[in-house]
Amino acid sequence: MQHHTSSGQQETDGESPHARTLFEAFMDHSPAITYVKDERGRYVYTNRANASRFGMPISGKTDAELFSPELARQHQLQDAKVLEEGQAQEFTETSVEDDGEHTWHTIKFPVRDVEGRRFVGAMSFDVTDRKRIEDELRKTRDQQEGHIRERTQELNQANGSLRQLSARLLGLQDEERRRIARELHDSVGQMLVALGLNLGSIEGEAQGLNPELTRALVEHRALLQDAINEVRIVSYILHPPLLDETGLASAIRWYVEGFEERSDVAVQLDVPANFSRLSQEIETALFRIMQECLTNIVRHSHSKTAGVKVTQTEEQVVFTVRDAGRGIPREKLMRIKQLSGAGVGLRGIKERVRELGGILDIESDDTGTIVTVNLPVSAIEPPITPSQGCPEEKQA
Ligand SMILES: Nc1ncnc2c1ncn2[C@@H]1O[C@H](COP(=O)(O)OP(=O)(O)O)[C@@H](O)[C@H]1O
Ligand SMILES: [Mg+2]
């Protein structure tokens, strides 16, 4: 190969003494360490950077005389690999020197002289600073990741305890409603019945009363009847005794009937005749979900019709409430699905469903809304007919 020098002279590789000194100057000024070892691992050439590293001439020495046994062995293996594969290889290693630990990045490559003898040539770069910066960066990143992991864990824990709390609150609410319903029915209800009996005795003697008192008596009877009806309705809506006694299917039928009377929404009911009993938890949850959905239909949908449907297999129960109303606005629906903007009602539904390991789906557009709840069920008992009496109550 021919080179043009700045003076315009032509030179041939290796021939000019000037080129040779220039090459040596190049090697000696190189901050990278360079050396050549023969097949037996003896240094046959080394540049100034390498010589000053050891503070003594190293020509003719082997790695065993320069390095720890471990490092020397590492070099031997590297050299053998280079010679065996006949290809350049890169290595990174650390060595302890007078001023502390150094990291070296080395490229070793096979060299052959004109007589065909084999050597290992090497260029080594001190990458201690780069390595230190990389290590620091890695450490900072690991620390940051650690912080993020901790925060995530804390958030998950907080989330978990919030969920536990809301599930517990829903459970307590169910219990409370059940208790108040029973109290109303058993104490106030019984007092009203007693009042009615007393009123009956007075009515028996009514012929002796003046017209004003007779009128008052008739009014009392009517008021009493209203009070009895009201207490029954409030207590049943709070917690229908049917739900415990004969199960979800009859409680739904009863509730929907009353709902149609109280609202002007016509409900199409689709509950299989042979619907089995489910756990008290599931029955209560589905009943409350139906109540919330029907209330939402009256309050928000403007729909005049609704549909309530329950289907059951051995593994799951699917519960659907639909209406033909104006739908949930898109934005609101998105927030509801992300749980960030749901009202208390739908949020409660979501929590109940989650607590029971089920799936909630809300579809809504300007033709109406469909809420679907899918709950896994384990053991389904055969339907209980009223003659079998009340099932045992499982208290939460
Ligand atoms: N069937 C429905 N039709 C139209 N909009 C509904 C329906 N159900 C719920 N929504 C909308 O979703 C919102 C959230 O409902 P919900 O969580 O039950 O809270 P709330 O009833 O207390 O407002 C309602 O405010 C209403 O805008
Ligand atoms: Mg609501």
Query: Which pLDDT does position 233 carry in this prediction?
Result: 86
Q: What is the pLDDT of residue 240?
A: 85
202's CB contacts (< 8 A; 6+ apart) are 217
Q: Which pLDDT score, from 0 to 100, does residue 205 have?
A: 84
Q: Are strands 266-270 and 305-312 parallel, antiparallel or unpaired?
A: parallel
Q: Quote the CA–CA distance of 128 and 135 in Å, as a whole number.
A: 10
Please compute Rg for the chain using Cα positions.
Answer: 45
CA of 50 to the centre of ligand 1 (A): 80
Q: With a 6 A CB cut-off, is 184 part of the ligand 1 pocket?
A: no
Residue 120, ligand 1, Cβ within 6 A: no
Q: Where are the alpha helices (DSSP H) in the chain?
A: 17-29, 48-54, 63-66, 69-85, 128-183, 189-204, 211-238, 241-245, 248-262, 280-296, 330-337, 344-355
Residue 283 CB coordination number (10 Å): 19
Does residue 327's CB lie within 6 angstroms of at least one atom of ligand 1? yes
Sign for the CA dihedral angle at 346, 348, 352, 357 comes to: positive
Protein residue with least CA distance to atom 2, ligand 1: 301
Find the 333 Cα to ligand 2 centroid distance in Å. 13
* Distance of CA 336 from the midpoint of ligand 2 (Å): 12
Which residue has its alpha carbon closest to ligand 1 atom 25? 343
User: How far apart are the CA of 343 and the centre of ligand 2, in A?
Assistant: 7
Superfamily of segment(s) 31-126: PAS domain (3.30.450.20)
Place of tokens 């690991």: 142
44 contacts 119 by C-beta, under 8 angstroms: yes
Q: For atom 12 of ligand 1, which residue has the closest CA?
A: 328
The answer, yes or no, to whether any atom of ligand 1 lies below 6 A from the CB of 368, is: no
Closest by CA to 283, choosing from 244, 229, 339, 232, is 244
The rounded Å distance from CA 287 to ligand 2 centre is 14
The pair of structure tokens assigned to 9 is 């002279």
Span from the CA of 329 to the centroid of ligand 1 (angstroms):
9
Residue 374's φ and ψ, nearest 5 degrees, are: -120, 115
What φ, ψ does residue 26 adopt, rounded to 5°?
Answer: -60, -50
* Alpha-carbon gap, residue 305 to 325, rounded angstroms: 8
Cα three-residue angle 17-23-29, rounded to 5 degrees: 135
CB of 328 sitting under 6 A from ligand 1: yes
Cβ–ligand 1 distance for 240 under 6 Å, the answer no
Nearest to 307 by CA among 359, 350, 280, 267: 267
Residue having the nearest C-alpha atom to atom 5 of ligand 1: 328
Atom of ligand 1 nearest to the CA of 295: 21
Sign of CA dihedral 240, 283, 353, 160: positive
| CB of residue 308 inside a 6 A radius of ligand 1 | no
47 touches ligand 1 (CB under 6 Å): no
> How remote is the CA of residue 47 from the centroid of ligand 2, in Å?
84
Q: In this predicted structure, what is the pLDDT of residue 356?
A: 93
Residue 337 CA to ligand 2 centre (angstroms)? 15
Instruction: Evaluate: CB of 358 within 6 angstroms of ligand 1.
Output: no
Q: Reduced to 3 states, what is the DSSP secondary structure of residue 77?
A: helix
Residue 348 Cβ inside 6 Å of ligand 1? The answer reads no
Please tell me the total number of residues recorded for the chain in this structure. 396
State whether the Cα torsion 354-356-357-361 is positive or negative: negative
The ligand whose atoms approach the alpha carbon of 295 most closely is: 2
Nearest CA to ligand 1 atom 13: 343
Q: Side chain identity at 81, as an amino acid letter?
A: K
The reply to whether ligand 1 has any atom less than 6 angstroms from the CB of 122 is no
Task: With CA atoms as reference, report the closest residue to 310 among 267, 275, 353, 346.
Answer: 275
pLDDT in tens, the chain (396 residues): 444 444 444 445 556 888 888 988 998 899 899 999 999 999 999 998 888 888 888 899 999 998 889 989 999 999 999 999 999 999 998 888 888 889 999 999 999 999 999 999 999 999 999 999 999 999 999 999 999 999 999 999 998 898 889 889 989 998 999 899 888 888 998 899 999 999 999 888 888 888 898 899 999 999 999 999 999 888 888 888 888 888 999 999 999 999 999 898 999 999 999 899 999 999 999 999 999 999 999 999 999 999 999 999 989 999 999 999 999 999 889 888 886 666 788 988 998 999 999 999 999 999 999 999 999 997 545 555 444 433 433 333
In whole angstroms, what is the distance from residue 255 CA to residue 287 CA? Answer: 9
Say if domain 245-396 classifies as CATH 3.30.565.10: yes
Ligand 1 atom closest to Cα of 368?
A: 3
Atom of ligand 1 nearest to the CA of 333: 12
Domain ranges for the chain:
31-126, 128-239, 245-396
Instruction: Take atom 8 of ligand 1 and give the residue whose Cα is closest.
Output: 296
Residue 119's nearest CA partner among 182, 43, 185 is 43
